[in-house]
Structure formats: structure tokens, C-alpha cells
Structure 1
Amino acid sequence: MATMQHYIWATGHFILLVSALRYLFAWAMLQHPSVYWYKAAFTGAFASYAIVCQKSLGIPQPNAAWVRRALADENVQYFMLAMFWWTSKPVAIALLPYTIFSLFHALTFTRTTLMPQLLAQGPPTTPNGAPQPHPLAKRLQVWVKANYDRAMKVVAYTEVLILIRVLLGALTLQNSFLTPIAYAHFVRMRYFQSTFTKEAIHTLTWTIDGYVSKPEAPPVLLQVWRTFQSVIGRWTGVTLPARPQAPAPAAR
């Protein structure tokens, strides 16, 4: 039985999903989307993530241990990031990760909570067993399960692209210099917590390495890239692994 908190959580995701799609569609059509939809999307994120954070962490406690535990929680990180985006100049691509998360949450809520109330369920397979889900609910469950990992990879690569976007935006004065600093800290935490993010950063690093290391590439590019890697390494305390060597062809 879904609780009121569960319905509020789901409502937040539906608001986020609808508002984000409305904003992103206008943005993709090269229109000037209303900032109302941008802020409405992140308002939906506040509602959903606040409930998840409260359920996982409980009532906030005025002590260092609770704060450390909260800051290490990925839902708290996304909640705080949503607050940052809400108060900052709109960056359209910043909506994409939240939109993908909300799509899967909304589909799961629809399957587990709404469909049993709206669609006829099949008879139980055992005496006194639970009714069988509607075939549409089963198909939805299969689709979500089959596409979840792929979607999380898209989220990870999108978050790396957002970092590049806000770095360039700071240089071209499209967003504040605080934005890439704050977002880089978020990506740093995701690197340590998410295998998808780690894979995305490694792949991007190896791709750039391959480009700047070409003989025809200007030597200054390799120098700038190595300097950038050194600065990032000192800041994060991480040395990214070298590109794996391709296996040697089998002897004939």
C-alpha cells in the first residue's frame, strides 16, 4: 500500500519529467523556453529527493557524524545540486540526468502502484497468492530492466558533458565561474561512487589522449592536456589509468 509520502515522491518525479520535457523540447527547437519550466522541473526534484533523503537519513542531526553521512549520500548530492541549478542561470543540459532518473521512477511507480488500480490483474498462480500483474505491466517491467544500465551510462556521459559545457560557459561568460567549480566537485564525488561515471571519465580521457598524442596534432595540445591532467590529479588525488592495450593478434 503506497503511503502519502510515496505519492508526493512520485508527484515530484512526474512534475520534473513533464516540466523538463517541455523546457528541453523548446530548447531543442531553438526557441526561448520559459524559465518557469526549468524551475518547475527542479522544484519537482526538491520534493522527490527531499523525501528520499529523509527516509534514508532521518531527521537532520546537529552533529558532524550526521553531516558527513549526509554529504556522502548520493541523493543528498543530487538534492543539493538541484538547489544549485534552481538558483543559477539555466543550463538546459543540466536537466537531462534528472529527466532520465525521473522517467524510470515514474514508469516504476506507474507499474507498481497505478496499473494495479486501473488495469485488471490476472488470477494468482497459487492459492492465496498475489494476483498476476497485467501483461502491460509485465512488458513495462521488462523494458525498464533491459534499459536501466544503458540509461545510467547515458546519465554518466551527460554529466561529464555538463562539466565541459559549464567550463566553456565560464570562459565565454555564459555562466558564473562558480558553476564549474561546484559542478566539478559533484563529478569528483560521482567518480568515487559510480562505476558508470568512472567508466565515462576514463573513456573520455583515453579519447582525448588518443587525439592529442597523434603525430600530426600540435605539440602544444599535448602539453596543455598533460598540465590539465596534473592539476586535476592533484585536486582529486586520483591518477587515471592508462588506456588498456589492445590484445595482440593470435599467432598463426
Structure 2
Amino acid sequence: MATTQHYLWATGHFILLLSSLRYFMAWVLFRGPSPWWYKVSFTGALMSYAIVCQKSLGSPQPNITWVKKALLDENVQYFAVAIFWWFSKPVAIALLPYAIFSLFHALTFSRTTLMPQFLPPGPPATSGGQPTPHPVAKRIQLWVKSNYDSAMKLVAFIELGILFRVVLGAITFQNSFLTPIIYAHFIRQRYYQSAFTRVAITTVYGYIDGYVRRAGSPPVLVNIWDKFTMVVSRWAGSTLAPQQPAPAAGAGAGAQ
């Protein structure tokens, strides 16, 4: 049976999903999206993440062990970044990963918790067996299962796009210079924890490297690229060259 905490967690995801949809609709239609919807979206994110972080880590403890555990928790990382986005100037694309996560959480919560209260189950698959899920719930389950990996891959590429956006924004004074620094550290951590992020970085690296080293490319461009990748590799603590991805970890974004 779902607890009050579980309902609050789901409410945060529904707030995030609906508010971000409202924000993106105004953004796509060039109607000047209100920053209010942006903050409401991340308020929903903070609500869900606070609950799931507390559930997985317990109350904050004044010791190094708890701090290290918290820093390695992907939900804590998304929670911290959500706090930063909440206080920063709106960057529309920053909402996308959170909205995608919330879509899957909202659908799963609706299927497992809300629908059984309103939709009757189907007949048992076998005589004397358990009732089968309602056809609508079953379709949602199949959709979530078949699209989950693709969505997580998309999130990984979007997060790289966000990094590019905030770097460009810092150069053009659209956001602070602190923003790409903070987000680059976030991406670095995702690289070590998410197979989807490793695949995305490897793909982008391979595409850029192939373009830079194409026939006729100026040697100075190759030299700059090599120095850039060397600096990034040393900072990241690992080479950016393609490697075999580890098995995918479970989704972050407030998994409950």
C-alpha cells in the first residue's frame, strides 16, 4: 500500500511534469515562457528528490562516511543540480532530463497505484490465478519497458547538450561562468556512474575526433583538439577514448 510519503513523491513528479510541459509549450510557441513555471517545475523536482534522498540516506549525519555516501548517490547529485537550477537564470533545456524522468515515474505510479483504484483488473490468465492488469495498465507497462533505455540514452545526450549550452552561455554572458563549471563536474560524475552517459560521451567524442582528423584538416586544429582532450582526460581522471560500457545502472531522478 502506498504511503503518504510515496504520494508526496509522486505529486512532486506530476508537478514537475505538468509545469515543465506548460513552460515548454510557451517556449516553443515563442510566447515568452514565465520564469514562474520554471521555478514551479524545479520545486516539484526538489520535492521528489528530497523525499527519495531522505529515504535512501536517512537524516543527514555529521560524519565523513555519510557525506561520501551522499556525494556518490545519483539522486543527491540530481537534487543538488536542481537546487542550482532553481536559483539560476532559467535555462530551458535544463528541464528536459527531469521532465523525462518524471514522465516515466508518473506513468509507473499511475499504473501501479492509481489505476487499480479505478480500473477493474482483467480475468486471470489461468484458472485460479491472479487477476491480470487492466488493458490500459498493461499498455503503459509495455510502453515504459520498451522505451526506457531509449529515453535514458536521450537524457544522456541532452545533458551533454546542456553542458554545451551553458559553456556557450558563459561566453556570450547569458549565464554565469560558474554554471558550466558546476555542470561539468556533474557530467564527470555521471560518466563514472551511468553507462548511458559513457556511451553518449564516447559517441560525441568519436564524431568530433573523426571530423577533426579528416583528410585535409589543418594540423593546428588537430593539435588544439589533442591538447584539449588531454586536459579534459586528466581532469576527469580517465581517458575519453571509446571503452566498453558497464551494465546500465538504475534510473536516478527520484526513483522510489
- Matched residue, 2:97: 97
Note closer, same or farther for the CA distance 1:34–1:62 as it changes in structure 2 (3 Å cut).
same
Mapped partners of 1:146, 1:125: distance in 2: 22
- Matched residue, 2:203: 203
- Matched residue, 1:232: 232
Q: How does 1:139-218 map to 2 (within 5 A)?
A: 139-218=139-218
Larger Rg: 1
- Matched residue, 1:248: none
Q: Which moved more, 1:24-33 or 1:193-202?
A: 24-33
| C-alpha contact (below 8 Å) 1:39/1:86 kept by paired residues | yes
- Matched residue, 2:222: 222
Deviations, residues 117-149 of structure 1 (Å, cap 9, x unaligned): 111112445687543210110111001000000
Mapped partners of 1:182, 1:53: distance in 2: 20
SS at match of 2:122: coil
SS at match of 1:90: coil
| C-alpha contact (below 8 Å) 1:70/1:76 kept by paired residues | yes
Mapped partners of 2:238, 2:179: distance in 1: 22
Unaligned runs of 5+ in 2: 245-256
Deviations, residues 55-82 of structure 1 (Å, cap 9, x unaligned): 1111111101000000100000000000
- Which amino acid counterpart does residue 183 of structure 1 have in structure 2? Y
Mapped partners of 1:217, 1:10: distance in 2: 52
- 1:221: how far off? 2.4
- 1:32: how far off? 1.1
- Which amino acid counterpart does residue 44 of structure 1 have in structure 2? G
| C-alpha contact (below 8 Å) 1:206/1:243 kept by paired residues | no
SS at match of 2:120: coil
The TM-score, its normalising length taken from structure 1, stands at 0.93
| C-alpha contact (below 8 Å) 1:20/1:95 kept by paired residues | yes
| C-alpha contact (below 8 Å) 1:170/1:176 kept by paired residues | yes
Unaligned runs of 5+ in 1: 245-252
The TM-score, its normalising length taken from structure 2, stands at 0.91
Mapped partners of 1:21, 1:193: distance in 2: 28
- Matched residue, 2:85: 85
- Matched residue, 1:22: 22
- Which amino acid counterpart does residue 97 of structure 1 have in structure 2? P
| C-alpha contact (below 8 Å) 1:50/1:79 kept by paired residues | yes
- Matched residue, 1:249: none
| C-alpha contact (below 8 Å) 2:191/2:198 kept by paired residues | yes
- Matched residue, 1:53: 53
Note closer, same or farther for the CA distance 1:222–1:243 as it changes in structure 2 (3 Å cut).
farther
Note closer, same or farther for the CA distance 1:22–1:235 as it changes in structure 2 (3 Å cut).
same
Mapped partners of 2:241, 2:229: distance in 1: 12
1:69 and 2:69 equivalent?
A: yes
Mapped partners of 1:140, 1:242: distance in 2: 35
Note closer, same or farther for the CA distance 1:120–1:84 as it changes in structure 2 (3 Å cut).
same
- Matched residue, 2:8: 8
Aligned-residue Cα RMSD (Å) equals: 1.6
Mapped partners of 1:31, 1:212: distance in 2: 39
- Which amino acid counterpart does residue 186 of structure 2 have in structure 1? F
Higher relative contact order (CA closer than 8 Å, sequence separation 6+):
2
